[in-house]
Amino acid sequence: MDTNHPLYIGALDVSNRRAARRIIIAGAWANELVGPNEGGKSSALDSAEENLRGSKSTDVTPLRNGARKGPCVLDLVAQLIEGARPNLRITRTKTPKNATGSLSIKDSGGKDIKTPKGVGDQGFLNMLFDGAIFNPVDIASRRPGEAAAKFQARVSESMELLAGAGFVENKARLTTELADVVERRKVLKRQVSEFGDMAPPPKATRVDPSAIKADLDAAKEINRKARLAHDDEKDARKDAELLHERAAAAVERGSVALRQASLAMDGKLDEYRETCISAKSATDQASATYDACNYGTHVKKWADAEELAGNMKDISKEAGEAQDAVGVADNAHCDAVHAVEKLAPLPEVHEPTYKDTAPIEERLMKAGETNAAATKRATYDADLLKLEALSDELTQVEEKADALKQDLLDMVNDTDIPIPGLEWSEDGISVDGVTWEQLSSGRRWMLAVELAININERAERPLKVLFIREGGLIDDKIFGEIAAYCKQRGYQLWMETPRIAHKGDHQVIIIEEGEVSEIRTAEPADAADESLPWDDDKGEA
């Protein structure tokens, strides 16, 4: 099959697809499908797209409820003239058991085409038409921010189709390298921020505290020895006081014993004298009774006198013993007194002389503070070196990121984009220096259409067809510009709209309840259309 010339949709025949009962359309250069929602417009265009792209189409059309078969026949022709024989007839028939549909491709003679080995019918269609169908409404009708992203993606796709695999590989390499650099930049920024505000501490020279520590240890040793000597003096004083106390106690005990022995001896002597007096009186009485010849009384009195004489002997003995005890007690007392006299005087306890360590400790404390300040300064100097190294690396990384971004932009902008004035920078899409958000609605529409056609051209696809969904978003003036541009570029236009058809020189197909109710030429544009407030130079009204 010859695919070196353009192909257009010459005829579309859809049956039992979603809302479509039976829709038959003969294609013109500009075709507008008009009708209410759920009337079958989208079903017809989606079926045409599905015939070409299969499961890769935008919206797969299921069978109409209750239908047993849903064929869609698409005739592709080289010339849009009445009665032109189709160069390709693509038929896709769906059944309840085959949601994708059986595919048949015939040439102008009605014969099945021969596809390359291992490709198959759908693969053959993909080689010819994949990517050829693009809906500009998806870009132009979105909010500016979303539209710019979509448009940028289409620009990237167009440039990659133009530049080939080498461009794609280089872009992927630069993009990956940029992502790595950006990630490293994040890490460096976080590390730099962790240092915070670094105020330089005062400089300080480190001091060797060993000599000061030696002086302090020596002073402490002197004080330790003085304290031990003082403790020894206090212990000796206590021991001497104890000896003196014991000797004094012995003298006191001797005095008490001597007094007691003396009292006992005196008592015995008094008892002896009294007994002697009593014995003499008894003897005198015995003699008196004897003289009076009173022998009975004499005997009794004499017995009393003899008894008292015996008592005197006993008392005399006891008195001698008491006298001996006084001698013993006196000797003991004298010994105790002599022992006290022999005791050495109590030793003196001298107040210790300590060395003042406060000045040495103050010197050591100041040395510690100086060394702490020196350590803090050294840490600051080390951190400062780290920070400078990180800052230098961050600067290099940022420069590298900027260079990579510029390399990407240069590579992109050096690629031939077939839309005059179109530029792609880090800030997004711009045309002649005007950002996408600042462009008028009409200019955005025309850019989207230009991009769709140029993508198809650069892909060298033979099908020259542009589909526009939701055409109700376009006014008559913009529609007229789009239709004229498509015809100028040799492209067939198919558009669906739910409202009254646009004015202009194109074919209007009225679809209601799944069928074509009328096909006519649109009403011509009148002078009033010229004053619609959609002017590319003035912006959006």
509: domain CATH number is 3.40.50.300
Among 90-99, 285-294, 316-325, the range of highest mean pLDDT = 90-99
Q: How many CB atoms lie within 10 A of CB 58?
A: 16
1 shares a domain with 60: yes
152 shares a domain with 110: no
Look at 153-162, 254-263, 269-278, 282-291 and tell me which has the smallest mean pLDDT.
153-162
- Measured CA to CA, the distance from residue 35 to residue 17 in angstroms comes to 16
144 shares a domain with 108: no
7 shares a domain with 74: yes
- Quick one: pLDDT at residue 44? 93
Count Cα atoms within 13 angstroms, Cβ side, for 77.
19
Structure tokens, 301: 């009195």
157 shares a domain with 228: no
Is the pLDDT confidence value at 528 over 60?
no
- Quick one: pLDDT at residue 533? 31
Residue 530 lies in a domain: no
158 shares a domain with 56: no
Is the pLDDT confidence value at 133 over 60?
no
- Measured CA to CA, the distance from residue 358 to residue 535 in angstroms comes to 94
Please give the model's pTM, rounded to 2 decimal places. Answer: 0.56
11 shares a domain with 86: yes
Residue 484 lies in a domain: yes
Residue 181 lies in a domain: no
Residue 445 lies in a domain: yes
154 shares a domain with 122: no
pLDDT in tens, 348-361: 999 999 999 999 99
Is the pLDDT confidence value at 421 over 50?
yes
Residue 532 lies in a domain: no
148 shares a domain with 128: no
Is the pLDDT confidence value at 410 over 90?
no
Mean pLDDT of 103-111: 90
- Say if residue 172 is exposed, middle or buried (CB neighbours under 10 Å; 0-12, 13-18, 19+): exposed
Q: Which residues contact 485 (CB under 8 A, 6 or more apart)?
A: 446, 449, 450
Residue 283 lies in a domain: yes
Residue 374 lies in a domain: no
Angle at 141 between CA 139 and CA 143, to 5 degrees: 90
As for how many domains the chain has, the answer is: 3
470 shares a domain with 454: no
Give the domain extent around 124: 1-132+465-520
431 shares a domain with 489: no
The amino acid present at 176, given as its one-letter code, is T
Q: At what angle are helices 144-163 and 441-458 packed, to 10 degrees?
A: 20
- Quick one: pLDDT at residue 148? 66
Q: Which residues contact 38 (CB under 8 A, 6 or more apart)?
A: 19
Residue 534 lies in a domain: no
Angle at 40 between CA 35 and CA 44, to 5 degrees: 115
C-alpha dihedral sign at 304, 305, 306, 308: positive
423 shares a domain with 314: no
